[in-house]
Structure 1
Amino acid sequence: MKTAPPFGLSSAALARSIPFVLFMGLLALRGALPAGGALDPRWVYGLSVAIVGGALFWFWKDYGELARQNRPNARQTLWSVGIGVAVFGLWIHLDAPWMQLGEATASFVPVNDQGQLDWPLIVLRWIGAALLVPVMEELFWRGFLMRWIESPQFETVDPQRVGLKAIALSTFVFMLAHTLWLAAIVAGLAYAWLYVRTGRLWCAVIAHAVTNGLLGIWVVHSGQWQFW
């Protein structure tokens, strides 16, 4: 007898949701751990990279939108990089107090007790933010949630036919997961537009990766750790 998938979600929906849920759960754990305790919450991020990366690897064959035949062409790739750069430029300037939803619950300051940069932590954080998070988040927010809002049979939804309602609602939920709400709206709409415009989720992933990668370099250079 075949058992139904948990929570009424299909196996395809679970494959795109589980890595995201794991990441958010570990993020909550980082925020709950006291600074200076037996377990440094910053190194829990390494656990996130390992566990979420493992989950993505496990489900990779199920991500048809990231299959070889769905890779972007050169023009689409250039557009994605350009959008990623533009979102980065806006993100670091959309940080006025009224543009923030409270404070980050899991800050990440890779500085040791002597006030020196902790490069292993920095590299770990950058790898997670620039390489892992874009794949994990785009699979969930745009690949799954945006199309699921359009139709519960989301795998049958052509991203180029997704309506404004699905784009707006998925971007709104995306905003709630970020402290800088206005910056998150701009980013969410930009990545959604790329996916809808090109039909390639890789375009959204590339743009997201460029944004996060540049943000990480800028944060380390400027010491504006609140953006991490």
Structure 2
Amino acid sequence: MSSRKSLPPLLLAYTVPFVAFMLFLAVEQGIASLGAESGQWWLATPKYWVFPLQTLVCGGLLLYYWRHYQFGPLAPGWIGVLGGLLILAVWVAPQAFLGFSPRQTGGFDPYALGTEGAVPALMIAARFARLVIVVPLVEEIFWRGFLMRYLIKEDFQKVPFGAYSHLSFFGVAGLFMLVHSQADWPAAFLSGIIFNAIAVKTKSLFACVTAHAVANLGLGLYIMTTRQWGFW
């Protein structure tokens, strides 16, 4: 009887945190749908406990697999900073500059469970940890570190980071768009193009993570300033 082959550790390292991240999103949506009329906040709005748990679990997975990641040269980090600012502008331009309606409904309101004391502070801290640390690492490791290379060659570790093909470049940008809400598709697609361009230009996963972190930090500060919780 032949034994079943296990998945290579490198493949797991680049995909498992993202898969776990997406599973948490599905669980949150499922609980919210089933518990909408329950009258219990933890069932009707599970994002306030599912997302912090998601942050802890995915952060733990990143630490577990950390030795497998190669972030490339650090010098192009400044390109990541500039790219992140450009991506931030893409996301906030409709409301900030073009007169679109503010996105003040829905999303993650850190004051929903209380406006004073430790609860809102903990909600804000958890949200920024997710937004600025976990999301940039999980997504860039998967999208640029894995999938852009995998779409060029199945044995992705033999493909240099930042290698280009039409399929990998535009395919990843399109898929990156689709995992966002429909209202965010234009900004998400343009962001995917910019992230991919940074990868191709710099050959540095570090630059891509930096761009994502800068964009998300700026967006988080914009959200807190304008209270447009619908952005997140």
What band does the TM-score fall into relative to the shorter chain? Answer: 0.7 to 0.9
User: Residue 161 of structure 1 aligns to a residue in which SS?
Assistant: coil
Shift of 1:71: 3.4
Please give the alpha-carbon distance, in whole angstroms, between the structure 2 residues aligned to 1:44 and 1:182. Answer: 27
Stretches (4+) displaced over 6 A: none
Question: Helix, strand or coil for the counterpart of 1:91?
Answer: helix
Q: TM-score, normalised by structure 2?
A: 0.83
Q: 1:114 to 1:17 in 2, by over 3 A?
A: closer
TM-score by length of 1: 0.84
Q: Residue 16 of structure 1 corresponds to which residue in structure 2? A: 14
CA contact (8 A) 2:84 2:212 kept: yes
Flag structure 1 segments of 5+ consecutive residues without an equivalent.
Answer: 96-105
1:25 to 23, 26, 33: 23
Match of 2:149 in 1: 147
State the AA in 2 paired with 1:89.
Answer: A
For the pair 1:37 / 2:43, whether they are aligned, the reply is: no
Q: d(CA) in 1 for partners of 2:113 and 2:64? A: 38
CA-based RMSD: 2.2
* Equivalences, count: 210
Whether 1:222 aligns to 2:215 is: no
Pick closer, same or farther for the CA change 1:32–1:137 going to 2, 3 Å: same
SS of the residue 1:159 aligns to? coil
1:43–1:121 contact (8 Å) kept in structure 2? no
Q: Alignment partner for residue 199 of structure 1, among 199, 203, 206?
A: 203
Question: Which residue is 2:160 aligned to?
Answer: 158
Question: Structure 1 residues 155, 27: CA separation in 2 closer, same or farther (over 3 Å shift)?
Answer: same
**Aligned residue runs from structure 1 range 61-210, under 5 A:** 61-63=67-69, 65-66=70-71, 70-73=72-75, 76-94=76-94, 107-112=107-112, 118-179=120-181, 180-210=184-214
Q: CA deviation at 1:115?
A: 5.5
- State the 1:123 CA deviation: 1.3
Where do 5+ consecutive residues of structure 2 fail to align?
A: 96-105
Instruction: From the superposition, tell whether residues 38 and 225 of structure 1 become closer, same or farther in structure 2 (CA, over 3 Å).
Output: closer
Identity %: 31
CA distance in 1, matches of 2:9, 2:4: 11
Q: Greater shift after overlay, 85-94 or 201-210? A: 85-94
Of residues 45, 54, 61 in structure 2, which corresponds to 1:55?
61
Is residue 223–residue 229 contact of structure 2 (8 Å, CA) maintained in 1? yes
